[in-house]
Amino acid sequence: MENRNLCILILNWNSHDDAIRAAKLLSGSPWDVCIVDNGSDDSSAVTSLRDGSRRLHVLETGQNLGYAGGMNFGMRWARGEGFSHVLLLNPDTTPSVDVIEGMLRAAEGCAVVGTAQVTEDHTPYLSAATLRGKKVVPFQCPTSCGRGHDVDIVSGAGIMVELDVAHSLGYIDEQFFHYKEEFDFCYRVSSAGHRVRYHCGTPLIHRRGGSLSGSSPSASYYSYRNEMLFLQKHYGPFVVFSCLGLYKNAVLSMTQHPRNAKAILRGIAHGIRGVTGPLFNLNAKGRGR
């Protein structure tokens, strides 16, 4: 794939310093970079980057559309601009030319490419998985061989997407809003007969939880709600009677993090009921939309 056919989308929601830092790290690269501001409280820091450069773009959604909605906004724009592929990046990543070139090499014949990831102290963590029925099997190349591997799921912190495939599938499902959306997208890509690839060479540095702490009640809510939404979407409504592993995990999580118990229970209940979109007030009794 030619470099000029790739646009790097960095999604920003009140993470201006991170988004600007990530964009500047790529300022000398051969690729176009676009910051998608997803309804930040004050977007002036990001929009001030508009300097007439034809390689740096800033888009404003006008409201918080979640990861799925914000990235969809950027992908539709990129496709309209004639790009064939996009790299979807979290602002709390540290992108490098080596990582992106490795992903480009792996992209040949693949609709989605993910990459190995490490924390800031270079501790590896799982960013890919295969599926055996409903069972998720984490995947990690033990040798970082660099050859790449076919998988079923890759992490959304840094994934390369073929835009024509994304368009044909209706892009990322926005009902998830936060968490599980890239899991669902990869599942749909694989189900449509396209390849999902994992680049195991130079890893992407990712500071996890940049927009929402993984230990917060809100994170627990979205995690359990969207897991239930995904299962019902792909396996039918009666799957709720066979989610013993999910329910056991919920009990364990509530035991370990009592302050999150209400959020976990509400997330499961909302997932069963089909509640989607953002939850504006975790303590409210409404549908969280």
**Which 3 state secondary structure label does DSSP give 63?**
coil
Sheet harboring 153-154: ordered strands across? 135-138, 128-132, 153-154
DSSP lists the bridge partners of residue 59 as: 36
Q: Is 62 left (phi over 0), alpha (psi -120 to 50) or beta?
A: left
Residue 210 burial (C-beta neighbours within 10 Å; 0-12, 13-18, 19+): middle
Convert the pLDDT of each residue in 70-126 to its tens digit.
999 999 999 999 999 999 999 999 999 999 999 999 999 999 999 999 998 989 888
pLDDT at 288 over 60: no
Q: How far apart are the first and last CA of the chain?
A: 41
DSSP string for residues in 32-60: EEEEEE-S-S--HHHHTT-SS-SSEEEEE
Report pTM.
Answer: 0.90
CB 19 within 8 A of CB 10: yes
Convert the pLDDT of each residue in 56-78 to its tens digit.
999 999 999 999 999 999 999 99
208 vs 239, higher pLDDT? 239
Convert the pLDDT of each residue in 150-180 to its tens digit.
999 998 899 999 999 999 999 999 999 888 9
List for the chain the helix, strand, coil content (%; round to 5). Answer: 40, 20, 40
Which of 250, 252, 255 has the alpha carbon at shortest distance from 267? 250
